[in-house]
Structure 1
Amino acid sequence: MSRSTEHTVKAFDGEIVELRGLISEMGGRAEEAISGAMRALTSHDLETAARVVQDDKRIDALEDQVDRLAVQVIALRAPMADDLREVVAALKIAGVVERIGDYAKNIAKRVPEIGSGRQIEAISILPAMARAASSMVHDVLDAFAARDWEAAVEVCERDREVDDFYNSIFRTLVTFMMENPQTISQAAHLLFVAKNLERIGDHATNVAEMVYFAARGTYMAERERGPDGVRS
């Protein structure tokens, strides 16, 4: 290998490490946003809610960095096969993680609207749903860093748990609204919170599909996604 080729390979390896690092930071901040939004919701902490909304700008900025670096790598290094799939996966995953951050921000924005008055039973279930969804995000990004397609498949299988949480909360809130019409506004906001968490789980499965493709070069089969498949 010539000195110039060796330098190019080292430079490319460094850029891949940087891409993974940026994705990891985005994921960590998205997880923090989810947990912060839920703390704000359960304790009606308006200050924490406002901070989650403000901090979302950092996730957006990191996505921009990933976009620029991925385009630079493709343009200057012309990666092939496995390397190209990893760069493209990083580019797409950054967009999905940015959306996950947006869902957490949306939850935080609803905190002032929900109020701190009478507690609705479903609020006590939402933190467990949030932990399940956030755990999926954490584990699927670990799978990306390790190029572990089997771990990605396992994340897809866990999406059923988040869906079950959503269905349970939906039924509880609809029943509560029917029995207590004066709480319709508050309960409706909580329904939107549950839907945002359900979408976070869906997006984690979308990332899992990208991890699978980057590692194996083939698309995830329906049987590996689970009976419900992966929703966009």
Structure 2
Amino acid sequence: MSHYEERLERDLSRIKQQATLLAKRVDEALGTAVRALLTGDDKLAYATVLGDQRINAENRKLDKMCHAFIGVHLPSAGHLRLMTAMIHANVALERVGDYAVTIARESVHLAKRPDALIKREVELLAGESRQMFKQAVCAFIDGNAEKARATMIMADQVERTFDVVFADLVTEGENFSIEDLFAYLGVFNSLERVSDQAKNICEETVFAVTGQTKASKVFRILFLDEDNSVLGPIAETVARKNFPEGGEFRSLGRRAGTTAPEVVSLLQESGVDLARHQSKAINLSLRDLADFHVIVSLQGPVKSYVENIPFHTAALEWDVGGPVAAELTGDQQRERYEALTREIAMQVSSLMTTLRGEEAD
């Protein structure tokens, strides 16, 4: 190994050591912030707030080391990707440190300590988020893309936990003041955001190791109607046909109905094949619903189907018209179903463009 290579590896090792030290302090800050919240230890909470100054100093030090490395070594390929990823990961670490401060600040202003349920859920959400954060940092420092990919999957579980916790917090609302409710919401949101930053670190790991950029997000969308016989199935079929890579689509009804054979035939002429469709009624828990990014009602308000919409789920209502009247002639029905299919297809296309932009197709 040449003198230049030795120096490069030595500087790179120091940068990784600094990143490891910073991540350790950030995780410790999270731990002390949560402990202060659960125990009512204001001294510990304020120590966490003040300790963020040291974390910020370590952030600035890592940033300077990365830029110095680029200036001295003029890296290319893998080393340049690593430095780019390191700078981005440093931003994520700083934000996680800020979340710890938010939790600590909320703690000292609480009028009432968490009851058994809220305490258990704080511990659960904190445990899941911190575990993901630790694994993400480990994968980044080790340059392990496979471990990073495996860790990213944990983000969905943390998000589902947050949705359940949020629903429980609303249910328990009468036991807390408005100020405390907002404080606990801020705490839960901060803990959930830790997992988001951990996922960002994982994505930077994959980029640094393989050169692959962040994959396009696949959106899970649920279509609802009265009996899951026509409108919802049309939307589901059209979405799967037109956006096979952009989403995962499902349709359910308030009850399970039957799609008449003549309707199936008419829709087939419009390019929608419902021959194998089996109508199903909605019977999903809040945790199941939280798996969907978007819930779309094609008949009436979403809340007439779903009492509690998960925190991370968007609810939409499309006015595409009612059922096709049976007294219409065959040609009139065909025209109506063709128009209905076009309208739903346009709505689906607009939604996917909103979600994925130019990558929608």
Same fold (TM over 0.5): yes
State the secondary structure of the residue aligned to 2:203. Answer: helix
Compared CA separation, residues 117 and 28, structure 1 to 2 (3 A): closer
Q: Which residue is equivalent to 2:341? A: none
In structure 2, C-alpha distance between the alignment counterparts of 1:117 and 1:206, rounded to whole Å: 32
Note the C-alpha offset of 1:196.
Answer: 0.4
In structure 2, C-alpha distance between the alignment counterparts of 1:118 and 1:192, rounded to whole Å: 14
2:44 to 29, 45, 48: 48
Q: Which residue is equivalent to 2:206? A: 212
Q: Which residue is equivalent to 1:139? A: 135
Verify the 8 A CA contact 2:112 2:180 in the aligned structure 1: no
Name the amino acid aligned to 1:31.
D
Greater fraction of residues in helix: 1
In structure 2, C-alpha distance between the alignment counterparts of 1:188 and 1:147, rounded to whole Å: 39
Note the C-alpha offset of 1:116.
Answer: 4.1
In structure 1, C-alpha distance between the alignment counterparts of 2:111 and 2:15, rounded to whole Å: 40
Note the C-alpha offset of 1:123.
Answer: 2.6
In structure 2, C-alpha distance between the alignment counterparts of 1:7 and 1:64, rounded to whole Å: 28
Q: Which residue is equivalent to 2:106? A: 110
In structure 2, C-alpha distance between the alignment counterparts of 1:99 and 1:161, rounded to whole Å: 21
In structure 1, C-alpha distance between the alignment counterparts of 2:203 and 2:106, rounded to whole Å: 31
State, as a whole percentage, how many aligned pairs show the same letter: 26
Name the amino acid aligned to 1:206.
N
Q: Which residue is equivalent to 2:165? A: 169
Q: Deviations over 1:173-209 (max 9, x none)?
A: 11222x44x5222122101100001111101001110
Verify the 8 A CA contact 2:42 2:108 in the aligned structure 1: yes
Q: Which residue is equivalent to 1:188? A: 182
Verify the 8 A CA contact 1:153 1:225 in the aligned structure 2: no
Superposition TM-score, scaled by structure 2 size: 0.58
1:61 to 46, 52, 57: 57
- Cα RMSD after superposing both structures: 2.2
In structure 2, C-alpha distance between the alignment counterparts of 1:131 and 1:119, rounded to whole Å: 18
Verify the 8 A CA contact 1:213 1:220 in the aligned structure 2: yes
The higher relative CO (CA closer than 8 Å, separation ≥ 6) is in 1
Note the C-alpha offset of 1:115.
Answer: 3.0
2:153 to 136, 139, 157: 157
Compared CA separation, residues 60 and 41, structure 1 to 2 (3 A): same
Q: Deviations over 1:134-155 (max 9, x none)?
A: 1111111110111100111111
State the secondary structure of the residue aligned to 2:75. Answer: coil
State the secondary structure of the residue aligned to 2:109. Answer: helix
Compared CA separation, residues 154 and 117, structure 1 to 2 (3 A): closer
State the secondary structure of the residue aligned to 2:177. Answer: helix
Q: Which residue is equivalent to 2:73? A: 77
Verify the 8 A CA contact 1:44 1:116 in the aligned structure 2: no
Name the amino acid aligned to 1:219.
T
Note the C-alpha offset of 1:118.
Answer: 6.9
Q: Deviations over 1:158-182 (max 9, x none)?
A: 01121112111111111222x44x5
Name the amino acid aligned to 1:198.
E
Note the C-alpha offset of 1:124.
Answer: 2.1
Note the C-alpha offset of 1:224.
Answer: 9.7
Verify the 8 A CA contact 2:139 2:147 in the aligned structure 1: yes
Q: Which has the larger radius of gyration?
A: 2
In structure 2, C-alpha distance between the alignment counterparts of 1:155 and 1:58, rounded to whole Å: 28
| Unpaired stretches in structure 1, ≥5 consecutive residues | none
Verify the 8 A CA contact 2:38 2:114 in the aligned structure 1: no
In structure 2, C-alpha distance between the alignment counterparts of 1:196 and 1:64, rounded to whole Å: 22
Q: Which residue is equivalent to 2:115? A: 119
Note the C-alpha offset of 1:114.
Answer: 1.2
